[in-house]
Amino acid sequence: MDTLNLAWLLVAIPLVSSAVLLLLGRGSDAWGHWLGVLASAASAVLAIVILVQLLGLGADDRTANVHLFDWIPAGDLTVSAGLLVDPLSVTFAILITFVGTLIHIYAVAYMSHDVDRRRFFAYLNLFIAAMLVLVLADSYALLFLGWEGVGLASYLLIGFWNQNTEYAVAAKKAFVMNRVGDMGMLVAMMAMFATFGAVDFDTVFGAADGAGEGAMTLIGLMLVLAACGKSAQFPLQAWLGDAMAGPTPVSALIHAATMVTAGVYLIVRSGPIFEQTPTAQLVAAIVGAVTLLFGAIVGCAKDDIKKVLAASTMSQIGYMMLAAGLGPIGYAFAIFHLITHGFFKAGMFLGAGSVMHGMGDEVNMRGFGNLSRYMKVTWITFMAGWLAIIGIPPFSGFWSKDKIIESAFVGEGWQPWVFGTVALVGAGITAFYMSRLFFMTFHGKARWNDGKNDLPGPERTPHESPALMTVPMIVLAIGAIGLGGLLTIGDSFVTWLEPVTGHVEHHEPVLPIPVIMVTTIVLVLLGAGLAWRQYAASAVPVAPPTGSVLTRAARADLYQDAVNEGVFMRPGQHLTRTLVYTDTAVVDGAVNGLGSGTLGWGERLRRLQNGFVRSYAAVMLIGVIGALVVVLASRV
């Protein structure tokens, strides 16, 4: 039977599981986490079955529309809910469910001491369901449903420990900054309705080359804005660092492997729109290039292991955005890097979680050092992720990132030189800060109190994590080692995505490919060597040194928060205060003034009714006399 029509189950299983866990409440505490794992695993199996079936079909038949129901029937306007099963969405479905399941398993152990573990799994399942809606949707409207769903799940999970005010604030920050991007998405959808009268992919993409460039540019730019919000790209990137407040499995799944890559998915999916608007494409590429450097610079200065990884995520997604902004030549490589990144970055986050687990939830890398002796599995798996992200052949990251750097050098005029150089330099900086993280954590001298030395801080007893945590790390590490090379053989991944991204002739970069490749590797080795000299061969101070101006700026996220506060938050606050003042003084003032004025007049009029008959009589007499005078005067 045709399993493609069962694609809806992919979404339904985790969604039902999430609902069950939330509705049963504490009653399902004992087995809730296993239900969560099971739901995610079932989706993963189904995704693999669908993948196998697609592989069995010819390249041109690998697209199936699964109509579910008419979602919004309103007169001439009908928005139907349907799933689009094609190589791109299935690739994502595999990534989400497979990595998701591994992280679910990991979280069983990682969250075992948390009283709210069941609620955590309910949210994780909700996230999986929403993310699958996002990538499987066949219209922007349904995509937006998933888009908001993952935003909600992200909010709930960042603020999972919301008894800590700081974490709750971080969740709110992520939510609010995502809303800015969502506005872009909404405007893009409205523009689509205005231009095409529909928001489903088929209609929009079919009519895209007939539409005016102005409308296309508006839609494209708004989609880039949406992608910036969700994928933490410049200038909406500030929330990602704070999002590390969530439990580490959340950081691994949502803020590294899947949700933050939704922006890249959006741009690749909207390829036919971006075809029509070079402006929006260029903007996407510039955003990617800026974020790439931004994240890399921030990553060099942070001492919090999770924040370094967050900055690195930002930077790597910058690579993907850059590739997606290059147009069809970059789409496949953007997705390729997204997949390999999903594996090695999730693996490293889980490794960081394992380190925290063994070190009493310490995140400051200056308090680590020499952990390779105590956590062998974590060390080895983390090393795989580290080698993959800095792009040492033959690890995964080399294949995907190298392709992006090559693509960045393709083109005419100033663009290949600028984008290519940025991508190259970014690779070097990436190597530096990731090696810094790796050496500071696992090598060098121990900088924590083991009970025998006289170092400050609470006593630590680093130990390897349980198998439930190490096995997912090992699986992800295997992906980090082999996946990139495997998918590169015979360009199989690029060919697989061709039904979506279109076939692209090979373009020659402005520099010869071997030159680019060698330069990249030299820069990477240089960066890694520098980090080795500074953070492994020589002692790392426990207290952070003051550092140069750049270091201090990078520690403060290049003052992005300050800029946001100065440019948006404070004027916003002033605006709201002015509005509140106007409301109380003018609007309320008018209403209250009317009331108290009436009251005052009533008070005065009341005095006339003094209860003395004689004064009434006097008033009557005066009135009669007055009336007489008027009558007589008018007679004369």
Partner 1 sequence: MSLVNYLVLSGILFSIGSIAVLTRRNAIIAFMGVELMLNAANLTLVTFGRLHGDLHGQVIAFFVMVVAAAEVVIGLAIIVSIFRTRGSASIDDANLLKS
Least distance from partner 1 to the Cβ atom of residue 612, Å = 6
Question: Residue 456 burial by CB count (10 A; 0-12/13-18/19+): exposed, middle or buried?
Answer: exposed
Cα-based angle 592, 597, 600 (whole degrees, multiple of 5):
125
| Rounded Cα gap, residues 388 and 377, in angstroms | 17
Residue 310 contacts residue 255 (beta carbons within 8 Å): yes
Q: Shortest gap between Cβ of 169 and partner 1 (angstroms)?
A: 60
Listed residue (120, 81, 106, 96) closest to 43, CA to CA: 96
Query: Least CB distance from residue 611 to partner 1, whole Å?
Result: 3
Cα–Cα dist 190/121, whole Å: 35
With respect to partner 1, which residue has the nearer C-beta, 575 or 621? 621
Size of the site for partner 1 (CB under 8 A): 9
Which residue, 543 or 632, is less far from partner 1 as judged by CB? 632
- Pick 414 or 612: Cβ nearer partner 1: 612
Shortest Cβ distance from residue 584 to partner 1 (Å)? 38
CA atoms within 13 A on the CB side of 51: 20
The DSSP output letter for 608 is T
Q: How far is the CB of 633 from partner 1 (least distance, A)?
A: 19
Complex with partner 1: residue 596 or 610, whichever CB lies closer: 610
The token pair that represents 202 in the structure block: 């088929």
Tell me the closest approach of the beta carbon of residue 609 to partner 1, in angstroms: 7
- Decide: is 30 part of the binding site for partner 1 (CB under 8 A): no
Distance in Å, CB of 604 to partner 1, minimum = 16
Report, in Å, the least distance between residue 617 CB and partner 1: 5
Q: Which residue in the block uniquely carries the two structure tokens 């529909």?
A: 198
Which residues are 66's β-sheet partners?
Answer: 83
The packing angle between helices 278-301 and 305-325, to 10°, is 160
How many CB atoms are closer than 10 A to CB 108?
20
- 629 near partner 1 (CB under 8 A): no
Q: How far is the CB of 607 from partner 1 (least distance, A)?
A: 11
Beta strands in 233-317 (DSSP E): none
> CB–CB of 192/260 below 8 Å?
no
Going by the DSSP 8-state scheme, the letter that residue 59 receives in this structure is G
Which residue lies nearer to partner 1 by CB, 522 or 617? Answer: 617
The nearest distance, CB 626 to partner 1, in angstroms, is 15
CB of 613 vs partner 1, minimal distance in Å: 5
Examine residue 621 and tell whether it contacts partner 1 (CB under 8 A): yes
Contact 296, 239 (CB under 8 A): no
What span, in angstroms and rounded, lies between the C-alpha atoms of 426 and 391? 11
**What angle, 0 to 180 degrees and rounded to 10, lies between the N-to-C axes of helices 165-196 and 140-158?**
180
Q: Which is nearer to partner 1, 115 or 631 (CB)?
A: 631
Question: DSSP alpha helices (H): ranges in 137-198?
Answer: 140-158, 165-196
Q: What tokens does 521 get?
A: 């590797």
DSSP 138: S
Written as six digits, the tokens of 435 are 């090696």
Could you tell me if 400 and 332 are in contact, meaning their C-beta atoms sit under 8 angstroms apart? no
Which residue, 506 or 607, is less far from partner 1 as judged by CB?
Answer: 607
> Which residue number, 539 or 622, has a Cβ lying nearer to partner 1?
622
Considering only residues 559 through 618, tell me which ones interact with partner 1, judged by CB under 8 A: 609-614, 617-618
> What is the spatial distance between Cα 385 and Cα 480, in angstroms, rounded to a whole number?
6
Q: Which of residues 83-122 bind partner 1 (CB under 8 A)?
A: none
**Of the candidates 154, 215, 212, which has an alpha carbon nearest to the alpha carbon of residue 187?**
215
**Closer residue to partner 1 in complex, CB, 1/631:** 631
- Residue in this structure with the two tokens 């992280």, named with its chain if needed: 103
Kindly tell me which of 489 and 631 has the beta carbon lying closer to partner 1. Answer: 631
| Binding-residue pattern over the window 380 to 419 for partner 1, x denoting contact by CB under 8 A | ----------------------------------------
Find, among 81, 98, 219, 212, the residue nearest to 143 by Cα.
81
Nearer to partner 1, 165 or 609 (CB): 609
Place of tokens 């392709």: 403
Min CB(580)–partner 1 separation in Å: 44
Q: How far apart are CA 619 and CA 93, in angstroms?
A: 91
Touching partner 1, residues 161-220 (CB under 8 A) = none
- Least separation in angstroms between CB 592 and partner 1: 29
Dihedral sign (CA 536, 539, 543, 545): negative
- Enumerate binding residues for partner 1 (CB under 8 A): 609-614, 617-618, 621
